[in-house]
Structures are given as C-alpha cells and as structure tokens.
Structure 1
Amino acid sequence: MQINQCLHGAVLVSDLEKAEQFYTQILGLSKIERSLKYPGAWYQVGNFQIHLIVHPDYQRELTNTQKWGRNPHFAFAVDNLDEAKQRLETNGYPFQMSASGRAALFTQDPDRNIIEIAEMRGD
C-alpha cells in the first residue's frame, strides 16, 4: 500500500453554529457543500478538507493543559502570524506561542479542539 494524499480530518463539535463561526469567520476557511444527512460542515483548505461532525455531548479534555501543542491537533500555515494573533485577540480566542521558538501558535476552537497556526512565508 502506498498512501499518496491526505483527504480530510474530522473534528467533533458540540455546537455547529459556534464552530462554524470560528472556522469561517475567525480562521477564514471556505465552507463547501456536503450531501450527508447528519449535522456538520465541511471546509476546503487547499487539497485537504476539515469535516466538522456534531456530537451534542462532546467535551474535549486537554491531556496537557500547560502546552497545548502536546495535545492532538492539526496545523494550518499562514503568511503572517501577527495577523493571525491579532484576529484571535480581537475576537477573544486564547492562544499560546509555540514553546519551540518557531513562528507558530496554538489556539482552541469553541470545543477546545487545538489548532496550530504556523507562519510559512512563500518567499
């Protein structure tokens, strides 16, 4: 077997409206159509998709509350990390800078799912 592409990642959320506000308005992801009957939303990021799946009783517990990056997470690349930090601060979302010293941060969606945002300039 040879895996040649990662297609999507699924994220559990308890409140679809709050999750969609975060992923659409805060992160700026593009929502795409989906034909499935269970509640959720899909977002396209390059050749990859993020699938939000509603589980009304979902409660995410962090295994490492001190260093968010040492919990299950997925990462997005941005050209300007300062812009990402400003958007998160302006909208009241907490974040931690990467302990590695890289230009990266970790934030949480409304259900405490961890998202890494790393600066990767296309110079």
Structure 2
Amino acid sequence: MPRLDHINIHVVDGQRMVTFLETVLDAREGVRPPFDFPGHWVYVGGEPAIHLTVVERAADYSPGIVNHVAFGVYDFDEARARIESAGYPYRLTGIPETGIGQFFVEGPEGLLLEIQFRR
C-alpha cells in the first residue's frame, strides 16, 4: 500500500527553514546522503520526512497548487508554546465534528505549515 514518504521543499535559506521546522514541529536536522547539490534533511518522529533543497530564487513562493503541509497530532499546549515563543504568525482553527484542532503557521519563504492537535 503506498504511503507518503517525505516532502521536498526548495528553499533559499536552508538553515532558516531548518530552524523553523525544528522549532514548530520539535523536529531535528539529521543525516543526509552526500548528494551533489546543497540541502538538509529534517527528521520528524525519527524519520527523514522533510527534504530541503537549497536553490536560488528571487522571491518567496506565492500560494499555489500545494497550499500547505500538515503534521499531527501534537499536544496543544506544547505546540502553542513552541509557535508563540518563536514569534511566527499563526491562526487557530479546527476540523468540524472531529475533535481535531489546527494551527496554521506562516513560515519562511511562503511556507504554510499545519500542526494538528486533539481537543
């Protein structure tokens, strides 16, 4: 059965994006194979779930065909503390009739990140 293995995001400032992901997801940068192009692998729950490829680009991405990336389920208080301590803009919402809440966090370079939690 197919499953999502990882996402790849093209970024201008790899370390800035790593810091964002480590802060809001409690993720960690980890081992990355020695590709012939610059990048970072960020591990979520011990898995290399986010691959960052460093590229040159003149401007941030505007919203497009992929609107956001979602991770969950996190503890509300811990997630909120991480997001607020870093000062990233966010909005709080939820999925109707499910008991699942959502933080939509605005990250570097136009990335919108959803963090789910149980109410």
Q: Identity of paired residues, percent?
A: 28
Aligned to 1:61, what secondary structure does the other structure show? coil
Please list the CA deviations of residues 17-55 of structure 1 after superposition, one character each: whole Å capped at 9, or x if unmatched. Answer: 211111223422122211212111112224562111112
Contact 1:71–1:114, Cα closer than 8 Å, also in 2: no
Unpaired stretches in structure 1, ≥5 consecutive residues: 64-69
Greater strand fraction, Structure 1 or Structure 2 = 2
Runs of 4 or more consecutive aligned structure 1 residues displaced over 4 Å after TM superposition: 99-102
Contact 2:12–2:56, Cα closer than 8 Å, also in 1: yes
In structure 2, the partner of 1:72 is 67
Change (3 A) 1:71 1:6: closer
Aligned to 2:35, what secondary structure does the other structure show? coil
Q: What TM-score do you get using the length of structure 2 for normalisation? A: 0.78
Aligned length: 113
In structure 2, the partner of 1:44 is 43
Unpaired stretches in structure 2, ≥5 consecutive residues: none
Aligned to 1:103, what secondary structure does the other structure show? strand
Q: What TM-score do you get using the length of structure 1 for normalisation? A: 0.76
Residue 93 (structure 1) shift: 0.3
